[in-house]
Each structure stands twice: as structure tokens, then as C-alpha cells.
Amino acid sequence: MNIYDIAKMSGVSIATVSRVLNNKPGVSENARNKVMAVVEQTEFVPNQLAKSLANSKSFVIGIVMPGINDYYSNRVDAIHKVCKEEGYSLMITSNYKDTNSIEEDLFNFNLLIEKRVDGIIYFPTHVSNPHYELLKKLEKKIPMVITDSDIEGIDISCVVQDSETPTKELMAYLLDGGHERIGYINGLSYDQVNNKRYGAYVSSLKNRGIEVDEDLVELGNFSFSSGYQALIRMKDKLNEKGKDMPTAIFAANDKMAIGAIKASKELGIRVPEDLSVVSYDGIEYSEFFIPKLTTVKVNQYKLGQLAAQTLIEKIETKKTKRVKVVMDHKIVIGNSSRPLNQEG
């Protein structure tokens, strides 16, 4: 069933059918009615592939992301919503290699380009040199927006979180509260956002004249259990060296903070009485965890909206000006932390 059939059945030409189907002017009321009647009766569904082919426009937007997980679900939901409102569909590709391999990102980009998506939203985590080369090649091939990473020298708009300011604010909160021995549970080292957070942690300490103690820094991978284990490792290591536990810990994300608090409880360390734990992300759980987390709430939903809007604007206006959108943030003070000298 195609427009030739519809044309025949309604006694008009395919051009007229096409015009009716696309609500274009220049069709008599009579012809329009005849066509509509046949379309309804036959439940005809035009073939978008053919349409896209003829128009060189697919009305599909692609996402290249590290994995479809709870961390990204709000962001993707927002992207989908905006796309839908603007008439676009969403094609999602994600990366299954452990290392978020560049090969697989490349594969995903090619897939989307072959499918002739109108634009791509990229959630990079790594930004290595080969990524740079890859993006450099893509920058003029297809409209694109990057989230979270701002890559210098590449003409691609981005929507990013300001990772430094909130980290500094939260560090100031701890330091002002009298904490000086502040540990850190770090995330994966290739992650640009993560590294900025860590960098701000280090500089916050230095600005107050506090030396960074390597023994207070543990590495995790953003998961609950890695936070759990990181805390246990930290405790063991400090024990061994005869050092005290820190009075506060900054975890690079909420999940690791939760894991660390769980481990603390099991080790008899009370949070926040003995140990303040603060973190980053403001995921939904952070509010319902007991204790409620002190964290930086990043509005993933808005981040997704902005990314989609930026991309669609780029697609539709063909504007080439690079835009950098910085998300606002919000510090949430919960019950997982408190000033050092507070009684209670």
C-alpha cells in the first residue's frame, strides 16, 4: 500500500495525495476529502523512510552514550521529551565495552550517520586524544551536542555542569564546619567531570593551607559497592599506618557515598557523628537514604532538555556558532554531615 494505490483509489494523482498527506496548500476541498476518506478507510501509513530519503531529513536524533543506566535515565527522558515535542524520534546507542572504548563510540557514530539521523547528542566520559581526532572529523559532518565535557578546539556546542564551583562550595561548608582531615573517594580517572571535582577538592584544601594526604584518597568506580569497599580499604590502611580516620569524606558521587556510609555503619562509625559524608549528583535516592545525603544536586533533566534544545536549534537554523551552556546547581544539606564541633 503506497501513495500510488491511494491515488488510484481516490481518483487523483500521487502529487495530490502527497499534498494532502502533508497538509500542503493548493488542493481543492473536494480532492482533499476524497483522499482523506481513502486514507482513513485503508488506514494508510506513509513510509517515513521514503519520505526521509526524498527530503534528506529523517527527523531522528541519535544519542551516543556509555550505557543505559539509572544515572542517565532522567537526562535521556528529558531529551526524548524535547525531541518528541519538536517532532523528532530518538535512536539510542550505547557502549558495552568495559572501557567505553573509542572503537565502539566510533561504531555507534557511524551507525547513526548511516541511518541519517539529523543530529547526535554525545555523552562522552573519556576524552582522550583519539576522541579528539574523532570529534574533529565529525564536527562538520553532522550537527552535534556534547554533554558534560567541554572539549577545547572543537567546534561542537556543549552543555556542561560546573563541577568546580559546587565542589568548592561543599568543601567550604566542611572546612568552615571545622573539618580538616577530609578524605576523598574518587571516581574513574578518565572521566572529565570526575577529575574536575577532584581537582577542586585538592585546591580547596590547598587554599586553606592543608596538605593533601594521599592516604585519605581512595579510588572507586561510581558504584555502591566500590564506595563500600573504598571506605573499608581506607580504614584498613589508616589503621595499619596508625593514623586516624578522617572526620569527613567527600565522595565523587552519591552512590559511592551511600556505599561508604553502609560500610561505616558496619564498622561502627556513626554518620554524621563520627564521620561526615558529602557527595555529588543529588540522585533521587540521596533524599530517601537514611541519613539523607548532603550533596550537590545536578539537574540531569534540565541538562537533557538544554542539550536537546541546543541540538535542535542547531539543526533547524543551521547556525554554526558554538554554544556552551553551563548548568546551575544546588547544594543540599542533609543529615549525612555536620560541623565538626556540633554536639548532639
Contacts with DNA by CB under 7 A lie at 2-4, 11-16, 18-19, 21-22, 24-28, 30-31, 46-47, 50-51, 53-56
Query: Which residue in the set 48, 99, 189, 207 belongs to the binding site for its own copies (CB under 8 A)?
Result: 48
**Distance separating alpha carbons of residues 183 and 343, to the nearest angstrom:** 22
Strand order in 248-251's β-sheet?
217-219, 182-186, 248-251, 276-281, 294-298, 329-332
Contact 160, 148 (CB under 8 A): yes
**Distance separating alpha carbons of residues 259 and 286, to the nearest angstrom:** 12
Which residue in this structure is represented by grid cell 580547596?
Answer: 204
Contact 61, 91 (CB under 8 A): yes
From its own copies, DNA, none, interface partner of 30 (C-beta below 5 to 8 A by class): DNA
Answer yes or no whether residue 44 interacts with its own copies by CB under 8 A: no
Answer yes or no whether residue 41 interacts with its own copies by CB under 8 A: no
Answer yes or no whether residue 91 interacts with its own copies by CB under 8 A: yes
Nearer to DNA by Cβ, of 11 and 178: the residue is 11
The DSSP code sequence of 198-233 is HHHHHHHHHHTTPPP-GGGEEE--SSHHHHHHHHHH
From its own copies, DNA, none, interface partner of 69 (C-beta below 5 to 8 A by class): its own copies
Query: Which residue in the set 114, 152, 214, 240 belongs to the binding site for its own copies (CB under 8 A)?
Result: 114
Which residue in this structure is represented by grid cell 533533566?
Answer: 301
Nearer to DNA by Cβ, of 24 and 141: the residue is 24
From DNA, its own copies, none, interface partner of 68 (C-beta below 5 to 8 A by class): its own copies
Candidates 12-20, 34-42, 76-84, 312-320; binding stretch for its own copies (CB under 8 A): 76-84
Q: Which residues are CB-neighbours of 254 under 8 A, at least 6 positions away?
A: 279, 280, 281, 282, 283, 285, 286, 293, 295
**Distance separating alpha carbons of residues 295 and 317, to the nearest angstrom:** 38
Nearer to its own copies by Cβ, of 90 and 182: the residue is 90
Query: Which residue in the set 13, 14, 32, 77 belongs to the binding site for its own copies (CB under 8 A)?
Result: 77
Question: Where on the phi/psi map is residue 183: left (φ > 0), alpha (ψ -120 to 50), or beta?
Answer: beta
Nearer to DNA by Cβ, of 114 and 244: the residue is 114
For residue 83, the minimal CB distance to DNA (Å) is: 20
Answer yes or no whether residue 307 interacts with its own copies by CB under 8 A: no
From DNA, its own copies, none, interface partner of 142 (C-beta below 5 to 8 A by class): none
**Distance separating alpha carbons of residues 8 and 168, to the nearest angstrom:** 70
Exposure class string for 207-232: b at 16+ Cβ within 10 A, else e: eeeeeeeeebbbebbbebebbbbbbb
Nearer to its own copies by Cβ, of 86 and 287: the residue is 287
From DNA, its own copies, none, interface partner of 70 (C-beta below 5 to 8 A by class): its own copies
Q: Which residues are CB-neighbours of 180 under 8 A, at least 6 positions away?
A: 208, 210, 247
Binding mask 190-229 for its own copies (x = CB under 8 A): ----------------------------------xx--x-
For residue 225, the minimal CB distance to its own copies (Å) is: 8
Beta-strand pair 329-332/294-298: antiparallel
From DNA, its own copies, none, interface partner of 96 (C-beta below 5 to 8 A by class): its own copies
SS3 195: helix
Other C-beta atoms closer than 10 Å to the C-beta of 56 total 8
Residues that bind its own copies (CB under 8 A): 45-50, 52-53, 58, 60, 67-70, 72-74, 76-77, 80-81, 84, 89-94, 96, 110-111, 113-116, 224-225, 228, 255, 258-259, 261-262, 265, 284-285, 287-290
